[in-house]
Amino acid sequence: MKLKTVIKLGSVALASTFILAACGSSNSSGKKTANIRESAELATMDQSKVTDVVGFTQLGNTEEGLYRIGKNNKIENAIATNTKVSDGGKTYTFTLRKGVKWSNGDEVTAKDFVYGWQRTVNPKTASQYAYIYSGIKNADKIASGKADYKTLGIKADGKYKLTVNLERPISYFKLLMGFPVFFPQNENAVNKYGSKYGTSASTTVYNGPYRMKGWTGSNLSWELVKNNTYWDKKNVKMDSLNWKVVKDAGTALNMYNSKKLDQTVLSSEQVKQYKSNKDYKKFLNASTFYIEFNQKKDKYFKNAKIREALSLAINRDQFVNKVLGDGSVAATGLTSAGLAKDAKTGKDFAKQVDVKSASEYNLKKAKTLMAEGLKEEGLKSIDFQLMSDDTTGAKQTTEFLQSAWEKIPNVKVSLSNIPFKNRLANSTAGKFDTVVTAWGADFSDPISFLQLFTSDNSQNNGKWSSKEYDNLINAANTTDASNTEKRWDDMVKAEQILLKDQGIAPLYQQGQSMLRRSNIKGIVYNSAGLNFDYKQMDVK
Amino acid sequence: MARYLAKRVFYLLLTLFLIASITFFLMKLMPGTPLNNQAKLTKSQIQIIYEQYGLNKPVWQQYIDYMINAAHGNFGTSFQFSNQEVSYLIGSRIGPSATIGIQGMVLGVVLGIVTGSISAIRKNTWVDGTANIISILGLSVPSFVLAIVLQYYIGLKLQWLPVAGWGGFASTVLPSIALAASPFATTSRFVRTEMVDVLGSDYIELAKAKGMSRMGIVYHHALRNSLIPLVTVVGPLAVAIMTGSMVVENIFSIPGIGEQFVKSILTNDYPTIMGVTMLYSGLLVLVLLLTDIIYGIIDPRIRITGKGA
């Protein structure tokens, strides 16, 4: 009897499985929709709390600030309709668009910007992006508790006029305005939902191209639906975008192949297999990996010949193609390629810097330079450690570098692959000989990279130092800040100094490879800031 | 029995308290900060944020604060999921984990009992041999390999069931099967051994001599007696399935608790680490307690009393 019952129940369960499975494949037509993969959970929709790419992407497509950043970092008016810059680049006066609505019905006004910005810089909010406000009047003082958050240099004159005061001209200021951390916030909503604000789709308000639906705060799928009260809704072509968090790259690929996903990022193994697929797309991130030499701990790293020798021994092309193979490219300098163009000539910053010696491969020269360097330092050999993360990619990197460096006589390298957080702690504490460091730009301006290597910067782990470099960066940030051409020259010269002296050894620029259905058009990509803007996406 | 229970519950709470304490201090020894953007923050910026979260206090004080709050049922808010209460995070994720865990467990154990019994009855025949091979495979093939194979063939190639995702019974089938493999193999091996033993015992011979049908003997005598020791195996198996589901959850993209646990450790999300650790250890000690109680109920020979203990 019992066994029979079990069999009966089992067959009922099995039968219902197939019936349900059949239901799952039905498709609603007529509406424009697409399924997009995200590889990590969405942590928050609170502009003052967001820290990761997932959050920036969702906020950037459901909310809007003064500008949207178009193709090639073109500044496009969004809530701002007119911008006046005065006081030598230290005062920005924005005229705001009338009739822009929040999803709760309130109008978006200048007051919302003031509220949102003050909330982010308020130390009580503990925003991890408050530092990016540095340069706006009193921002640094507020962050360190020396001034009240209400003294921040932002003011509303009536509903449609917004004035921002800076401490010094910030040449990339307009770019920042397209970044979600600078978007307005609806005070009514923040107060109404209290600590629940931004923790789910229903406790967040929207003023951007899409509204979010179905995000509970911890689930793995949600929807962005076209926002029918958006001021520019005629340019939003998609009815909905379905986001699915799929962490496993293999699963995601299976879902892409069974048409459950229309866009997925590929792992480096998958890239090798799908490189020639018609849906294959490659994007370069504004993220550079480089090697820092600890000059404070190991005196011999003060010798530029030794640093250069180590850099010359690395065959970067072979490394990115044969070892990484994920779409990354060899870095020619610190500032990532494709980040920013010269306003006058239109030439890419990274190309303009052009210091070949900093990233070329020449083992013979490496050997000669190392011999000279060792002689100058009075050393017979050097034996040091290379530190990096403990991920598969990082381990492959360090193994490659070890074998490359040990081709130079009298160089011995040991490896230390440790978790990301440990690596970071050791880097900051100066507990390393050489380390592979990565930096991603927050905005599309070379200074985002170059400020790292001034003598007093806390991210300058190797303690490379140059008076001339410091002066140039200082000039770019102060005296030349409002002179676009001069500032650009300062930055080009500064990076040339860094590279000629091999203050760091550039390694590679991170690439991202994905499969995306070929009928999907109009997604705007920028390597820094909001990476993917889906506002004008369309399926043909 | 009541006294025995009270004593066991006391030890259970003590165990949980010790686990919580040890975990708390171990967790604080981990390097790094819970800040996502740590790489871009200076020391003083980190300090300012720490003050807001009370992380600048000495560790022992943080420990006391946490314990007092936890005793009041407040497990704090997550760092990674800003402002999200840990109890909510865990609560909304335990459902999917429990669903595939229980389904996998039931499927595995039921199939295991059936297969094991048949093997024992048809000892040393081709049926027994085949069952043997299947169980060995079930034990030696890791659940994630099975998960990937199922996903590829049943999900992608045959398109019978969803490749991954969560929603509806259909999406739970493949992960449940992947999870069922190990309890199935263990149960079937175990039941076979036990039943072969039982079938050779005197009272079975007696029942046969009395003219009872073969099926009747198996149902009424052999099966029941061979299942008793199984209870001891099922407890730990249930716990193994809870932790073993992390990988399967990841492969099938299920919003479960296992993945959350791993992520919280990697990101130093202290309140979440504590919350999930307590949940896991709570379930473990509870399962062990239940096993003991059930064992006492079904096997009168070893019923424990509080006397003399």
Give domain limits for chain B.
Answer: 92-267+297-306
Lowest mean pLDDT among A64-73, A134-143, B236-245: B236-245
Most trustworthy range by pLDDT among A475-484, B30-39, B259-268: A475-484
d(CA A442, CA A374): 39
**Could you report the per-residue pLDDT of B113-171, keeping only the tens digit for each?**
999 989 988 888 998 999 989 888 888 888 889 999 999 999 888 889 998 888 889 99
pLDDT tens by residue, A427-472: 988 999 999 999 999 899 999 999 999 998 888 999 999 999 999 9
Q: How far does the CA of residue A157 sit from the closest CA of chain B (Å)?
A: 32
Residue A388, H or E segment: strand A382-388
| A410 to chain B, closest Cα gap in Å | 34
The answer to whether B82 contacts A424, with C-beta atoms less than 8 Å apart, is no
| A251 reaches B (C-beta below 8 A) | yes
The DSSP result for A322-381, as a single string, is III-SS-EE-SSSSPTTS-B-TTT--BHHHHH--GGGT---HHHHHHHHHHHHHHHT-S-
Would you state the pLDDT for residue B300? 67
Indicate the residue type of B122. R
Q: Give the pLDDT confidence score for residue A293 in this predicted structure.
A: 96
Q: Which helix (H) or strand (E) holds A4?
A: helix A2-24
Average pLDDT taken over every residue of chain A: 91
- pLDDT top residue among B29 and A22: B29
* pLDDT value of residue B290: 85
The two three-digit tokens of residue B154, written as one number = 């049943």
User: The pTM is what?
Assistant: 0.85
Question: Cβ of A199 and B82 within 8 Å?
Answer: yes
Q: Is there a contact between B36 and A128 if contact means CB atoms under 8 Å apart?
A: yes
Q: Which residue of A has its CA nearest to B53?
A: A126
How large is the ipTM?
A: 0.82
From A486, A446, A439, A473, select the one nearest A341 (Cα to Cα): A446
**B175 — contact with chain A (CB < 8 Å)?**
no
Dihedral over alpha carbons A281, A282, A285, A289 (to 10 degrees): 150
pLDDT at A453: 95
pLDDT of residue B11 exceeding 70, the answer is: yes
Determine what percent of chain B is predicted with pLDDT higher than 70. 95
Q: Are A134 and A88 in contact (CB under 8 A)?
A: no
Residues of A in contact with B43 (CB under 8 A): 428, 458
pLDDT surpassing 60 at residue A3: no
> Can you name the residues that pair with A259 across neighbouring β-strands?
none
* Chain B residue with minimum CA distance to A24: B162
CATH tag for B92-267+297-306 (out of 3.40.190.290, 3.40.50.970, 3.30.110.40, 1.10.3720.10) = 1.10.3720.10
Distances (CA, A) of B162 to A91, A372, B155: 56, 64, 5
* Rounded-to-integer distance, Cα B244 and Cα A453, Å: 46
- The DSSP element (H or E) to which A514 belongs, if any, is strand A504-516
* pLDDT > 60? residue A28: no
Report the interhelical angle of B270-298 vs B59-71 (nearest 10°): 50
Per the prediction, chain B carries an average pLDDT of 85
Q: Using CB atoms, pick whichever of B38, B159, B252 lies closest to residue A258.
A: B159
Percent of all residues in chain A with a pLDDT value above 70, rounded to a whole number: 95
State whether B30 and A421 contact (CB < 8 Å).
yes
Q: What is the mean pLDDT of residues A41-55?
A: 91
Distance from C-alpha of B241 to C-alpha of B235, rounded to nearest angstrom: 10
User: Which of B36, B43, B93 lies nearest to residue A458, judging by beta carbons?
Assistant: B43
pLDDT, one tens digit per residue, over A203-217 is 999 999 999 999 998
Residue of chain A minimizing CA distance to B96: A219
Residues in chain A: 540
- The closest alpha carbon to B272, from B51, B38, B34, B73, belongs to B34
- Rounded distance between C-alpha atoms, residue B174 and residue B176, angstroms: 5
Chain B contact for A364, CB < 8 A? no
Hey, what amino acid is at A205?
V
A439 with A288: CB under 8 angstroms?
Answer: yes
DSSP category for residue A267: P
pLDDT digits (tens, 9 = 90+) for B85-108: 899 988 888 888 888 988 999 999
Does residue A27 sit at the B interface (CB-CB below 8 Å)? no
- Is residue A37 within 8 angstroms of chain B, CB to CB? no
